[in-house]
Chains A and B, each alone.
Chain A
Amino acid sequence: MAGTLFFYTLSAVLIASALGVITARNPVHAVLFLVLSFVTSSVLWLLLEAEFLAVVLVLVYVGAVMVLFLFVVMMLDVNVAQLREGFTRYAWLGAVVAAVLAAELLAIVWWKPDGLPMAATTTPRPADYSNTEMLGTALYTEHLFAFELAAFLLLLAIVAAIVLTMRRRPGLKAQDVSRQVAVRREDRVRLVQMKAEHDT
């Protein structure tokens, strides 16, 4: 009973904060609503006993991705009028994407294809059940190939990010710490023997 109540409260918070993301006028508020929706969905996952995914959602999305989002939004002076104009122009595209997404979700819920085990278990796991270990075992035995593919995807992302945004400013004089540290006395100091000067 308490569990059901908890679930519906969380779902309500999640939906409200998701609405907040798209209705907030201030972009920083929108990002903060998004943070709230990530945190609530993480608790929802925890209710499904997906412990690892729940914590990683907070760790990666809330702790890293959203911090950078927030940072970018904070720094940019977003021009709201310009955004409004863009909204009406691309509204039809947004509607199409939303319709496709909704159709896909409904299809999964109603058709329940054989491959997807829906609501497989509702019995609580014992206290010593390690979700992380189970996930690791499955990932690194059955799904090894997909895992190695992920490595290449991440490599691709690294290369793409560098190729797309890397630019060098010419004539930059930066400090090179490793060269500074590598300097030896002989490189900088020259001892000169000379006769004492007399003022005559």
Chain B
Amino acid sequence: MLQAYLPVLVFLGIALGIGLVMLAIGLVFGRSGTDAEKLSPYECGFEPFEDSRMQFDVRYYLVAILFIIFDLEIAFLFPWAVALDSIGLAGLVAMGIFLTVLVVGFIYEWKKGALEWD
């Protein structure tokens, strides 16, 4: 089984190599010479001001947590869909219950307004 992953590893290496070679060509053959203005961050002609980090709304975390929960749910669905043949009706019903429970959660989010992005 592991032999099948060898080409993947080689491909990752080749892809990385292409990226590195391109960057190297650019850094070697590209023009050089510069001044402070050229290197300063572009802010539509203004002098850069303040640090660019900023605070943001807690609402984003909520959607992010919901996203992770649903991502986990999908991770449960993959082996289920593949094993459908061998788990039979019981497996199907089990997933029906699992999804129903989570749909309840989904409806709760929706009704609570957690999915409004404002």
Chain A–chain B contact at Cβ < 8 A: yes
A interface, CB within 8 angstroms of B: 46-47, 49, 51-52, 56, 59-60, 64-65, 68, 71-72, 74-77, 124-127, 129-133, 135-137, 139-141, 144, 147-148, 150-152, 154-155, 157-159, 161-162, 165-169, 172, 174
Which of the candidate stretches B31-39, B40-48, B77-85 sits at the interface with the other chain?
B77-85
**Residues of the A chain whose Cβ atoms lie less than 8 Å from the Cβ of B116:** 174
CA distance A150 to B55 in the complex (A): 34
**Residues of the B chain whose Cβ atoms lie less than 8 Å from the Cβ of A157:** 65, 69
**Residues of the A chain whose Cβ atoms lie less than 8 Å from the Cβ of B108:** 158-159, 162
Contact residues of B between 75 and 118, Cβ < 8 Å to A? 75-76, 78-83, 86-87, 90-91, 94-95, 97-98, 101-102, 104-106, 108-109, 112-114, 116, 118
B68 CB–A CB distance under 8 Å: yes
B interface, CB within 8 angstroms of A: 1-5, 51, 53-56, 58-59, 61-62, 64-69, 71-73, 75-76, 78-83, 86-87, 90-91, 94-95, 97-98, 101-102, 104-106, 108-109, 112-114, 116, 118
CA distance A150 to B97 in the complex (A): 11
Q: List 16 A-B contacts (CB under 8 A).
A: A46-B2, A46-B5, A52-B78, A59-B75, A60-B75, A68-B68, A74-B53, A131-B1, A136-B87, A150-B76, A150-B98, A151-B98, A154-B102, A154-B105, A158-B102, A161-B65
Enumerate the 6 nearest inter-chain pairs by beta-carbon distance, A residue then B residue, closest first: A136-B83, A136-B79, A158-B105, A140-B91, A151-B101, A140-B87
**Residues of the A chain whose Cβ atoms lie less than 8 Å from the Cβ of B80:** 136, 139-140
CA distance A160 to B64 in the complex (A): 14
**Residues of the B chain whose Cβ atoms lie less than 8 Å from the Cβ of A76:** 53, 55
